[in-house]
A and B are shown apart, each in its own frame.
Chain A
Amino acid sequence: MFQIVADGLIIGSVISLGAIGLSLTVSIVGFSNFSHGELVAWGAYFAFIVTGLTSMPQGLAASIGPFSFGWGLVIATVAAAAITGALALALDTVLFKRLRKQSSITLVIASFGAALVLRNLLLFWQGGVPKYFSQNLQIATPFLPRSFWGGLRFTADQLLVLALTLATVTGLHLFLRYSVLGRSMRATAANPGLAQVTGIDTERVLRSTWMLGGALAALAGVFAGITVQLRPTMGAELLLPLFAAVILGGIGSVWGAVLGGLLVGLAESASVTLLGAEYRTVAAFIVLTVILLLKPNGLFGERA
């Protein structure tokens, strides 16, 4: 019972981080980007490659304390966030920006195409065999005995993922609420024309949004890689849960995306245990349907 919740929170953390980035691009850039899941996958693989490069110097590959990975992965995650941000920005510059004057449906279809290209390039480049950041086996520490409601176990990695997700989300919330760029992002999401006459360079805001969304996607990808594994199709598998989380929380809301991500994670984890793994995605959408029936704008939705 507790384990279902714990597993749900871990899956939910990854979904939340991906969903925040997606939610920001949907609300600020103004279309549903179906290639966002691929950014998660590419981010994970970028980190994987950088880890390989940084494993040369002695010590960087050695595990830090109770965790399965070394400082190499920490450096790699920062690098992957920057590279994935740049990839998202490049995607916008060569593709989305040129189509922005068209209807949003055109952009959605274009992002579908971009997703296919990115996914298959990754498959071509890295192969279909799953990869792992670390070959070290981690033993989960029991927090509750098995006799008590089935017990509760966490690995150190899982706890770190939870803590870092919380820290990232809090930081992001403060950034959007108090920084000039953050406020400019919210203003651009609400009313791009008025943002411009107020003196906000909306093109710059859009570029920042892509980079931020890409960086958060990379973080989600690394967390997915740490807690599960790396597969070229991991982005495609995450896409529907990401959208479910964004819609569930209300488009444009950071805390909404987090709560939506956690709820989708919990639904997935519960259905894996109670119904079987094949019902995972179905569970997420049942939760989505029920909540939208009760609150059509999502949990934190500001607009219709």
Chain B
Amino acid sequence: MTAPVLAIEALEAGYEPGLSIVRGASLTVQAGEIVAIIGPNGAGKSTLVKAVAGLVPIIQGRNLLFEKDITGTPAHRMVFAGLAFVPQNENVFVNLSVAENLELAAAIVKANRRERLDPVYAMFPDLYRQRADLAGQLSGGQRQMLAVARGLIARPKLIILDEPSAGLSPKMLDQVFGKLREVRDSGVTVLLVEQNVKAALALADRAAVLVEGRERIVARSSDLLNDDRIAELYLGRATRKDGKT
């Protein structure tokens, strides 16, 4: 078997020393996969991927990208290592135009602008049409598309998305997730954090259920869909939240 794209090994991470949010999580992502991290609120899903992207201090454990240790690599060096990260909120520069957002990403990795932008525009024709508009004027779905497109400009091997469905209508969610499939088919491995379990399991090949900062279950999505433990983890919460039984 070839080396995994990403190997998270017994990772402990948190914003303050002594207050770990991720507590010994491990996960491997193979080339060409879409892997989803799901789990109840406060399980540390976002913190886990932010720690991988270099945005949250790592206390223990390590992350390997193609067997290369990227633990402690500063966030701004990750694109050069082949890892793109798409944050959950405010993931485009609202004061720059669509084109400027993409050009900046290309300029940072010292790449030819046309050569990088053209394939991305081909994948996202809507963005090409709106290239002169300020990113702040885009709809939620288009903004998410731009955030993904920005991540792809650096030609990453792995793209990590923190809750790409946040704030999207069901129709937009379908479009964005459809694009993520295209992204995977173009040869980029996808790791995403999702609150929307149903949509995440429908999209992903495999999923990890994170509970209290550790992976509780890692399995194929199709198996997890019928797993009683998932229902238990989520329905319990949903019942309380909605007041239904």
Contact = CB atoms under 8 A, between A and B. Distances in A.
B189 to A, nearest CB: 17
A191 B93 CA distance: 7
B185 interface: no
Interface string A174-202: 00000010011011001101111111111
A302 to B, nearest CB: 6
Interface residues of B, number: 30
B131 to A, nearest CB: 16
B108 A180 contact: yes
B76 interface: yes
B104 A202 contact: no
A302 B87 CA distance: 22
A199 to B, nearest CB: 4
Nearest to A181: B107
Contacts of B60: none
B87 A197 contact: yes
Contacts of B78: 197, 199
Interface string B28-67: 0000000000000000000000000111000000000000
Contact of A194 (B91, B100, B154): B91
B93 A193 contact: no
A198 B90 contact: no
B96 A187 contact: yes
B79 interface: yes
Contacts of A186: 93, 95-96
Interface in B3-19: none
A194 B94 CA distance: 11
B75 interface: yes
A198 B79 contact: yes
A197 B104 contact: no
Interface in B80-119: 80, 84-87, 90-96, 100, 103-105, 107-109
Interface string A227-243: 00000000000000000
Which of B75, B77, B79, B109 has the most chain A CB atoms closer than 10 A to its own CB? Answer: B75
Given A194-B87, A197-B79, A201-B76, A184 B93 contact: no
In which size bucket is the chain A interface? Answer: 10 to 19
B76 A194 contact: no
Contacts of B150: 198
Contacts of A184: 104, 108
A196 B76 contact: yes
Contacts of A180: 104, 107-108
A286 to B, nearest CB: 31
A197 B85 contact: yes
Given A198-B150, A201-B76, A202-B76, A191 B90 contact: yes
B55 A190 contact: no
Q: Chain A CB within 10 Å — which of B74, B95, B100, B150 has the most?
A: B95
A194 B103 CA distance: 15
A199 B90 CA distance: 16
B76 A199 contact: yes
Contacts of A302: 95
B76 A193 contact: no
Interface string A272-304: 000000000000000000000000000000100
B53 A197 contact: yes
A193 B154 CA distance: 17
Interface of A: 180, 183-184, 186-187, 190-191, 193-202, 302
Given A186-B96, A193-B90, 9 more contacts: A183-B100, A183-B107, A184-B104, A184-B108, A190-B95, A197-B78, A198-B105, A199-B77, A199-B79
30 contacts: A180-B108, A183-B96, A183-B107, A187-B96, A190-B93, A191-B90, A193-B55, A193-B87, A193-B90, A194-B87, A194-B91, A194-B93, A195-B76, A196-B54, A196-B75, A196-B76, A197-B53, A197-B75, A197-B78, A197-B84, A197-B85, A198-B105, A199-B76, A199-B77, A199-B80, A199-B108, A199-B109, A200-B76, A200-B108, A302-B95
Query: When A and B form their complex, which 3 residue pairs have the shortest distance between CB atoms, in order from nearest?
Result: A199-B79, A199-B108, A196-B75
